[in-house]
């Protein structure tokens, strides 16, 4: 049995990643903004949702296969875009893209990735999705969209919840940077994480691959940091969806929607899908959890477009709950980053395998054989139970909301 085969849950994978990834990069993933209350709520609210057990039904020939954004997938799971992924382990984006391709699920490359669009395209077998941050330098953004098109990315994910950055205390205290600064503290740190350091020395991919060499005045690290800090566009608004769609020419999915009114606006401005997300609790601390926002958004736009969700998904049970509440797929951020930190491509493959097995057995224990048939009827909405009652107070997941759909 290999080291990774012994890992049975996403939380165990997290513990494994903590032992192997330098603190500043482990913390970068394991943090939310300010008090981290929204980061915690993303996980906690999943636990409040009860599944409905059914028995004595035929469970033969089960299928998790479905389609999202017009693409056939092996299960309703996709990898969320995450910046600096190539700092969780060397060449991280390429390794995650490969693991996702083998598992038959989409990988989304972040604008703020370490490996560039071209690099990931050249080193993975399946088309991946590209996530766009809109920056002030519109010529750069146009070129970035063109590069995603040239790399045959079938879907553009437009992130609209980060015009300004929520403060993450850990990153400030750790002096996070890519590539990392060689301070005595960092040298001490990597002496205890030799595998990470050894692999990192063996790659040239250590800075923001989509940016370095593609914009003027961002050649060296100092100017790149300054450029990035000043670049997120405060003027981004719904009207921008049109030119981005026009330039890309394929489906554009808006990410970062947490409010039904914004969901309707996204749709009215041409979004081809919506990711209900609070950026993994990294932006507006005090905002509600993504899963608690999902039902009202599905209610508002679910019959007109595909709605996906991310934030706190850490098990196959979570995926099933998201699907039962109307999501077409659940995206994972930290879950796959922990796999990457713990074991590179094999670690991500293991995380996806854990989720697939959990989802399959959970679906069966709910009495279902086909993931496409999972719905609100698979949730236990019995009104008298304390856990449901406490959830009603904090979320819009009232039984009545769900029953009406």
Ligand X SMILES: Cc1cc2nc3c(=O)[nH]c(=O)nc-3n(C[C@H](O)[C@H](O)[C@H](O)COP(=O)(O)O)c2cc1C
C-alpha–C-alpha distance, residues 154 and 172, integer Å: 36
How far apart are CB 43 and ligand X at their closest, in Å? 7
Tell me which residue has its CB nearest to ligand X: 333
How far apart are CB 208 and ligand X at their closest, in Å? 10
How far apart are CB 284 and ligand X at their closest, in Å? 13
C-alpha–C-alpha distance, residues 117 and 130, integer Å: 8
How far apart are CB 40 and ligand X at their closest, in Å? 10
State which H helix or E strand residue 382 sits in.
none
**What are the E-state strand segments in 260-374?**
273-276, 306-310, 329-332
Which one-letter DSSP state was computed for residue 371?
G
Our CB check for ligand X shows the closer of 44 and 50 to be 44
User: How large is the greatest C-alpha to C-alpha distance in the chain, in angstroms?
Assistant: 66
- Which SS3 state, helix, strand or coil, does residue 160 take? coil
Our CB check for ligand X shows the closer of 22 and 280 to be 280
Interface residues with ligand X (CB under 6 A)?
28-29, 42, 80-83, 110, 112, 131, 159, 255, 277, 279-280, 282, 310-313, 332-335
C-alpha–C-alpha distance, residues 97 and 109, integer Å: 8
Burial 68-90 (b: 16+ CB within 10 A, else e): bbebebebbbbbbbbbbbbbbbb
- Which SS3 state, helix, strand or coil, does residue 224 take? helix
Our CB check for ligand X shows the closer of 81 and 180 to be 81
C-alpha–C-alpha distance, residues 19 and 138, integer Å: 41
Our CB check for ligand X shows the closer of 110 and 116 to be 110
279 catalytically annotated? yes
- Which SS3 state, helix, strand or coil, does residue 307 take? strand
- Pick the catalytic residue from 169, 214, 269, 279: 279
How far apart are CB 175 and ligand X at their closest, in Å? 16
How far apart are CB 262 and ligand X at their closest, in Å? 15
Our CB check for ligand X shows the closer of 318 and 345 to be 318
Q: For the packed helices 37-48 and 386-394, what is the interaxial angle rounded to 10 degrees?
A: 140
Distance of CA 205 to the CA centre of its chain: 22
Radius of gyration of the chain (CA): 20
Our CB check for ligand X shows the closer of 337 and 381 to be 337
| Catalytic machinery residues | 279
């Amino acid at each position: 049995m290999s080291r990774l085969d012994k890992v049975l849950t996403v939380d165990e994978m997290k513990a494994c990643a903590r032992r192997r990834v330098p603190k500043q990069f482990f913390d970068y993933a394991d943090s939310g903004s300010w008090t981290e209350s929204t980061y915690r709520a993303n996980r906690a609210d999943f636990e409040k949702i009860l599944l409905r057990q059914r028995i004595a039904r035929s469970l033969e020939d089960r299928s998790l296969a479905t389609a999202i954004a017009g693409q056939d997938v092996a299960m309703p799971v996709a990898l969320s875009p995450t910046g600096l992924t190539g700092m969780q382990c060397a060449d991280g984006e390429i390794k995650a893209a490969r693991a996702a391709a083998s598992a038959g699920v989409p990988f989304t490359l972040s604008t703020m990735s370490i490996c560039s669009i071209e690099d990931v395209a050249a080193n993975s077998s399946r088309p991946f999705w590209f996530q766009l941050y809109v920056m002030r330098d519109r010529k750069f953004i146009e070129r970035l969209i063109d590069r995603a098109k040239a790399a045959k990315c079938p879907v553009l994910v437009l992130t609209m919840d980060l015009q300004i950055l929520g403060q993450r205390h850990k990153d400030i205290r750790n002096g996070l940077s890519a590539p990392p600064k060689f301070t005595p503290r960092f040298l001490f740190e990597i002496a205890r994480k030799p595998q990470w350091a050894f692999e990192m020395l063996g790659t040239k991919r250590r800075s923001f691959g989509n940016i370095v060499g593609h914009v003027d005045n961002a050649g060296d690290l100092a100017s790149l940091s300054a450029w990035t800090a000043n670049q997120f566009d405060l003027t981004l608004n719904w009207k921008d969806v049109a030119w981005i769609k026009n330039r890309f020419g394929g489906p554009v999915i808006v990410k970062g929607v947490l409010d039904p009114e914004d969901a309707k606006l996204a749709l009215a401005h041409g979004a081809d899908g919506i990711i209900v997300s609070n950026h993994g609790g990294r932006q507006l601390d005090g905002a509600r959890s993504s899963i608690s926002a999902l039902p009202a958004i599905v209610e508002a736009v679910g019959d007109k477009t595909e709605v996906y969700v991310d934030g706190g998904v850490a098990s196959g049970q979570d995926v099933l709950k998201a699907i039962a509440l109307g999501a077409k797929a659940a995206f994972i951020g930290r879950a796959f980053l922990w796999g990457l930190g713990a074991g590179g491509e094999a670690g991500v493959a293991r995380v996806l395998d854990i989720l697939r097995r959990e989802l399959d057995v959970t679906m069966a224990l709910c009495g279902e054989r086909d993931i496409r048939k999972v719905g609100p009827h698979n949730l236990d909405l019995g009104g008298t139970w304390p856990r449901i009652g406490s959830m009603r107070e904090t979320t819009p997941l009232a039984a009545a909301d769900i029953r009406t759909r």
